Chains A and B, each alone.
Chain A
């Protein structure tokens, strides 16, 4: 592990521990929902980050198609894989939250539905990569999906929202004691996600380097023959 990454891992660990303290000790329980509302501090940042990461993937995909640099593709891949983790966590925590609040594990509420569809696009992205043999082909396929997926998410949200009559609150409606904890949660999880992306990117870069070495050594063996 590079020294810079180690540094970020430690910062992230400290932030997450402080975040846990703020969530479970400092933040007051919700007046209506009680203790179960504390899952909000994990659920909402994960949902926000999953959307943000997918827009980053879309941006990186455009950049890759222009520059054709494998490093950009590896970075985009790292963001997408961590993004998929965020979507899964957002959906699972959303379900756990929804059960006591709405009495069901799942409801077709616009934000949940959009997150689910975003998750399906992430899954298609990861599957398309896994099912493509050549790295260059895989990068192109993934970039196309990254761009179209990124453009599609706001349209999905708009169309799902039109269908729904559910009232929607915003985080700015929270009392300040909860809002600070929520904002700190976003910061702590953003740093954690940044560290995970960085680690995954290093692994992908190392894999690419090894693949290149293998190719060169095979070429040399063929030349010697």
Chain B
């Protein structure tokens, strides 16, 4: 059995579990709704404010629900020591890393697809455009890479559920800022060059961590 096939089985296993239980996707829909309701009452926003702050609120919801996705993807693996089992197969750790990152990537992408219509209805803010794929895909790649490493790092600590957001939120701030700004630009009149600076941040972040994260994951998985 080749490595790519094992990798695919790992991703398929995570997706199959979610398909059968639908725990994460249903919870993320409810959480997204609740965040919008809480922000509405907490900030006393008018319709114009919603349009102005829409991109920010959209990405805050994506970020918080994505943090939950990471916990969910790794929950079964940690409870059953599955990662150790796969590691003992002699599979290159880079493949294990890519498989887990891919699971996180697919789950958060599906979650975002579910949440966007909710925002269009509740916020009167329509970010749908082909260009929106740019921040969404690039943010998801960066977040999946970093969060896969930090899920294993947080597991080494006594209170992993508490540590995961403390580790993930400050590190993901550059891509959050870039994604919010790009969504802001995309939701108005724009030319493609307006996006260049933010694309540099997102692509740079993704490329750097694409190189660094597999190396760190291999080392931290020793435990």
A interface residue numbers (CB < 8 A to B): 65, 117, 120-121, 123-124, 127-128, 131-133, 137-138, 140-141, 144-145, 147-149, 151-152, 155-156, 158-160, 162-163
Contact = CB atoms under 8 A, between A and B. Distances in A.
B68 interface: no
Contacts of B204: 155
Contacts of A123: 166
A152 B149 CA distance: 14
B209 to A, nearest CB: 8
A107 to B, nearest CB: 17
A179 to B, nearest CB: 32
B201 A159 contact: yes
Tell me which of A65, A152, A155 has the highest count of chain B C-beta atoms within 10 A of its own C-beta.
A155
Contacts of B158: 131-133
B171 A137 contact: no
Given A131-B163, A159-B177, A151 B212 contact: yes
B15 to A, nearest CB: 27
Given A131-B159, A131-B163, A148-B149, A140 B205 contact: no
Interface residues of B, number: 32
A51 B54 CA distance: 34
A141 B157 contact: yes
Interface stretch (B19-27, B87-95, B215-223): B215-223
Interface in B134-171: 146, 149, 153, 156-159, 162-163, 166-167, 169-171
B197 interface: yes
Contacts of A152: 170-171, 174
A159 B163 contact: no
B97 interface: no
A159 B149 contact: no
A147 B162 CA distance: 21
Contacts of B157: 128, 131-132, 141
Contacts of B105: none
27 contacts: A65-B216, A117-B170, A120-B169, A121-B171, A127-B166, A128-B157, A128-B167, A132-B158, A137-B223, A138-B156, A140-B222, A141-B220, A144-B149, A147-B216, A148-B171, A148-B209, A152-B171, A155-B208, A158-B174, A158-B201, A159-B173, A159-B177, A159-B178, A162-B177, A162-B181, A162-B198, A163-B181
B212 A149 contact: no
Contacts of B220: 140-141, 144
A108 B125 CA distance: 26
A148 B201 contact: no
B79 to A, nearest CB: 19
Contacts of B219: 65, 140, 144
Interface in B177-223: 177-178, 181, 197-198, 201, 204-205, 208-209, 212, 216, 219-220, 222-223
Contacts of B171: 121, 148-149, 152
